[in-house]
Structure 1
Amino acid sequence: MNRKVWIAALLAATAAYTSACGGGGSQSPSSGDGPSTVKDQDKPKEPIELLVYAAGVSAEEFDTRFRSVLKNKFPHITVNYQTNTKGNSLAELVSAGTIPDLIRTDIPTLKSSYLDLQLGYDLGELIKANKYDMTRFDPSFTQEMVDAGRTGAIYGLPVPPYFPTVLYYNKSLFDKFGVPYPKDGMTWDEVYEIAKKMSRTEGGVVYRGFSANFNSILRDNPFSLPVLDPSADKLADTEKWKTIFNNYKRFYDLPNNTIETTMNAENNAFGNGRIAMQANQHNIYLVIPPEIDWDIVSQPTMAGAPKRTGQRGPAYWSITRQSKHKEEAFRVIMEMLSDEVQLEDSKKGIPTTLVKKEVRDALGKGHPVYGSKNMKAISYYEPSAPTPKRKPELVDINGSSQTSVLYQQFIPFAQGKKDVNTALRDVEESLKKLLEQEKSK
């Protein structure tokens, strides 16, 4: 069945249950048609252990957000948590036969760190059996997982955070130079005019008008344009990539606004206090020195592109096909994605994957820093549609590898060392080499 038809049918099937479930993440079946029933749930539970694996997420974060909730809800379940410490990569655990029950997956590495390891498990039957309300989630997130899996399966449910693109600005520098602050709803042309005014040298110090996290704004571009063509072994829509590359390069052609020599340095330049504006993600892991008086406005819009917020999608809670406790693992996921848990996340500045207005509107309101920022900038536009994924019959490569190829060529282009045609031709050649490597495996 066509993937989009399949998910539409699944959403329709669960929609009727929404009011009974209350839209929360801790619904229980009300009849005996699922793997367990109310009567079953009244019986004493046999103690079990679940191994949860999340690369890049500290044990402290997991404990703060989830552990006490899970302990109170499921006293019979012992949750063992593992992150990617030395010697404990997911591949190493799988090789050793220590396969987690739950894994925090994401779209860029879904292939290499989940499907290629033969861990993939379709949650479709558990969603149906538990009458779980999929309409709770932003549909772009659930659809992207279906598309990324390329089989019609739902390999995971979306967990915060996700990382929407915004425009940061240094209020102190705008005050210093007497330039009005940026505002929500600007275009890139308007931001360019501001960057002209803010790029200058004063007292021997160079102040740059603009910088950007290119990992973010190239990948999460306003056209939802993929790097690798969904239907052919080539760069997708070269003309649109020219438009995107040229739009950003003009900023680096301004006097006193030369791009940094490495992508990492450019991504982190805002923290040095001499950058007026930076296009970057709202990212709870982004560290801005406390002495910088900053705020955010909505991502600027580009001519010809939808007025949407570019965003790196969320991670997903996935179950492994090897797990012996799939039903219990799914109930744990339901609890971690409940309205109550996501409301607390939202108050801490963690953007929700839910459509519920109450949860969205709470963003940052309980946080000592975000509570004073223009957090409405994050939802000023709706999230961009997910990028089109490769046809199932075509060889694919990791999304993270595709993005790396792209931004590695942007730096020499922005430095004036390559013209746009050469830079994009080199991107395409690198993509073809990666595809050949993948085909030879």
Structure 2
Amino acid sequence: MVAIRAKSRPLAVFSFILILMSGCGGALNGEQKPDRREAEAEKPKEPYTMKIYAAGVAETEFDDRFRQVLKQKFPHITVEYFPGVKGATLPNLVAEGNIPDLIRTDVPTLRTAYLDLSLGYDLNDFVKKYKYDLSRFTSVFIDEIVDAGRTGALYGLPVPPYFPQALYYNKDLFDKFGVPYPKKTGITWDEVYDLAKKLTRVEGGAVYRGFSSHPGNTLRDNQFSLPILDPSADQLAEPEKWKVLFNNLLRFYEIPNNTIESTATLDGSAFAKGNVAMMTNQHSVYLKLPPELNWDLAAYPTLEGAPKLMPQRGPAYWSISNTSTHKEDAFEMIMVMLADEVQMADSRKGITTTLNSPVIKSALGKESPVYSTKNMDAVNVYPPIPYTKKRKAGLTDVPGLTLQNLQSQTFVDVAMGKMDVNTALRQLDEKLKAELAKEKSK
């Protein structure tokens, strides 16, 4: 009996091995079938083209900031870039059926250049799926895009830069006339006005202006966060506050020899000529000042009765087209382009971050040949001011650019002496109502 048990043992062991091989998906010739999920993960992804549209952003800028990092993270995706040139604007592409997957939107044109084209897509589901932390961003930027959409949807995530206001000053003119530079922080509009009077003069046949601005930006990005069109009624919002804002800026152009240019854009570019001592304007990498101009920055002047916050124009946003067949990849691309390391690289170049990171903010301009010698802390002295209130859902609205242009030209007309402030604001109110009537008739 002992001999029989000894012979049976190898057979039993062999049977056990066969059972194990069967349970593990064993194969002939010693091969083992790989786990199906592992095989899918190891399988190369199918290559395809992702179309990205960003009107007004040159392809060289996109390449410098984003293309390489996207190529590293998504080697199977080829990016086709559209900068919105003539003949290839977003409406052109939509009409051709060549709709981009990713679109750079902004608040003033969110309706006319995105939602009205039936491209709107809510990112909230992807935010939940990826547990994406929206608190990374300066909260006013997230709040504004949600409010602007008027549906509660999140139509985009904020991409740098945004455009904080600051006080620019020409150091050479201050030195020439023996006037101390503006205080770096805490200067008031009244103090700027006093400096402007001292620095406006005619010498040797040359006119030196104490102050200029881009009135459209200065009034739009105002310190009351005051909208042009009332959020709840078909009229100019709070005319008495607009009167304060108009009068505050108007007094500078009433200084003899500090005459405003014929358009807001021309007055905004006057500082670059070298004969203007101070300018309020946005900090923007797109604002090109001559290299020979010896300028610096101070914090934006505070206004009596207004919060001590920094006026700003919000950023653009990365949005996804609802027609895209690559929405999830598009969202992953957005996350990569808005990552901390990408925004830190942007900040070092002088591009303001949309994140609330003090470390990234403090790096602003540190590696820029232009901004590394400037007081870039000036744009971070005060927190960004809340965005202007948007129209309530259900009320007819007017495109943001239309509102801005009406307001800007109205002020220029006042500053040129064509009408007084009260008349100008009354006419602006009438123009707004006319625009609303146009929109309602569509």
TM-score normalised per structure 2: 0.90
Per the alignment, residue 92 of structure 2 pairs with: 92
Per the alignment, residue 215 of structure 1 pairs with: 216
**1:246 alignment partner AA:** N
Per the alignment, residue 243 of structure 1 pairs with: 244
Cα distance in 2 between the residues matched to 1:191 and 1:366: 30
User: Secondary structure, in 3 states, of the residue corresponding to 1:304?
Assistant: coil
Cα distance in 2 between the residues matched to 1:235 and 1:42: 61
**1:420 alignment partner AA:** V
How far is the alpha carbon of 1:41 from its aligned partner?
Answer: 5.7
Per the alignment, residue 356 of structure 2 pairs with: 355
Say if 2:136 is the partner of 1:142: no
Say if 2:396 is the partner of 1:395: yes
User: Secondary structure, in 3 states, of the residue corresponding to 2:280?
Assistant: strand
Say if 2:103 is the partner of 1:117: no
Cα distance in 2 between the residues matched to 1:40 and 1:161: 39
Per the alignment, residue 226 of structure 2 pairs with: 225
Cα distance in 2 between the residues matched to 1:393 and 1:60: 41
Cα distance in 2 between the residues matched to 1:204 and 1:40: 78
Per the alignment, residue 131 of structure 2 pairs with: 131
How far is the alpha carbon of 1:417 from its aligned partner?
Answer: 1.8
Quickly say closer, same or farther: Cα 1:132–1:43, change in 2 above 3 A. farther
Per the alignment, residue 48 of structure 2 pairs with: 48
User: Secondary structure, in 3 states, of the residue corresponding to 2:331?
Assistant: helix
Unaligned runs of 5+ in 2: 1-36
Does structure 1 conserve the Cα–Cα contact (< 8 Å) formed by 2:215 and 2:412? no
Matches within 5 A, 1:404-423: 404-423=405-424
**2:121 alignment partner AA:** Y
Per the alignment, residue 26 of structure 1 pairs with: none
Cα distance in 1 between the residues matched to 2:340 and 2:203: 51
Q: Deviations over 1:65-107 (max 9, x none)?
A: 0000000111011111001112101001101111110000000
Per the alignment, residue 323 of structure 1 pairs with: 324
User: Secondary structure, in 3 states, of the residue corresponding to 1:61?
Assistant: helix
Q: Deviations over 1:181-207 (max 9, x none)?
A: 012211100100111100111111110
Quickly say closer, same or farther: Cα 1:280–1:61, change in 2 above 3 A. same
How far is the alpha carbon of 1:416 from its aligned partner?
Answer: 2.0
Per the alignment, residue 61 of structure 1 pairs with: 61
Quickly say closer, same or farther: Cα 1:108–1:210, change in 2 above 3 A. same
Cα distance in 2 between the residues matched to 1:226 and 1:258: 27
Per the alignment, residue 28 of structure 1 pairs with: none
Per the alignment, residue 32 of structure 1 pairs with: none
Per the alignment, residue 22 of structure 1 pairs with: none
Quickly say closer, same or farther: Cα 1:130–1:43, change in 2 above 3 A. farther
**2:360 alignment partner AA:** V
Aligned residues: 405
Per the alignment, residue 313 of structure 2 pairs with: 312
How far is the alpha carbon of 1:43 from its aligned partner?
Answer: 4.7
How far is the alpha carbon of 1:46 from its aligned partner?
Answer: 2.1
Cα distance in 1 between the residues matched to 2:335 and 2:148: 22
Cα distance in 2 between the residues matched to 1:200 and 1:42: 73
How far is the alpha carbon of 1:396 from its aligned partner?
Answer: 0.7
How far is the alpha carbon of 1:432 from its aligned partner?
Answer: 1.1
Quickly say closer, same or farther: Cα 1:350–1:38, change in 2 above 3 A. farther
How far is the alpha carbon of 1:357 from its aligned partner?
Answer: 1.5
**2:396 alignment partner AA:** V
**1:384 alignment partner AA:** I
Per the alignment, residue 33 of structure 1 pairs with: none
Per the alignment, residue 424 of structure 1 pairs with: 425
Say if 2:130 is the partner of 1:154: no
How far is the alpha carbon of 1:264 from its aligned partner?
Answer: 2.0
Per the alignment, residue 174 of structure 2 pairs with: 174
Matches within 5 A, 1:267-416: 267-416=268-417
Cα distance in 2 between the residues matched to 1:157 and 1:324: 19
How far is the alpha carbon of 1:39 from its aligned partner?
Answer: 9.6
How far is the alpha carbon of 1:265 from its aligned partner?
Answer: 1.4
Per the alignment, residue 436 of structure 1 pairs with: 437
Unaligned runs of 5+ in 1: 1-36
Cα distance in 2 between the residues matched to 1:365 and 1:251: 34
How far is the alpha carbon of 1:256 from its aligned partner?
Answer: 1.5
Q: Share of identical aligned residues, percent?
A: 59
User: Secondary structure, in 3 states, of the residue corresponding to 1:268?
Assistant: helix
How far is the alpha carbon of 1:430 from its aligned partner?
Answer: 1.2
Q: Deviations over 1:318-369 (max 9, x none)?
A: 0011000100000000000000100000000000000112111110000001
Cα distance in 2 between the residues matched to 1:381 and 1:419: 33
Does structure 1 conserve the Cα–Cα contact (< 8 Å) formed by 2:263 and 2:409? no
How far is the alpha carbon of 1:429 from its aligned partner?
Answer: 1.2
**1:245 alignment partner AA:** F
**1:149 alignment partner AA:** G
Per the alignment, residue 14 of structure 2 pairs with: none
Cα distance in 1 between the residues matched to 2:195 and 2:255: 11
Cα distance in 1 between the residues matched to 2:238 and 2:38: 53
**1:170 alignment partner AA:** N
Quickly say closer, same or farther: Cα 1:39–1:267, change in 2 above 3 A. farther
Give the CA RMSD over aligned residues: 1.3
Quickly say closer, same or farther: Cα 1:414–1:317, change in 2 above 3 A. same
Quickly say closer, same or farther: Cα 1:39–1:256, change in 2 above 3 A. farther
User: Secondary structure, in 3 states, of the residue corresponding to 2:68?
Assistant: helix
Structure with the greater alpha carbon radius of gyration = 2
Per the alignment, residue 72 of structure 1 pairs with: 72
How far is the alpha carbon of 1:38 from its aligned partner?
Answer: 10
How far is the alpha carbon of 1:440 from its aligned partner?
Answer: 1.2
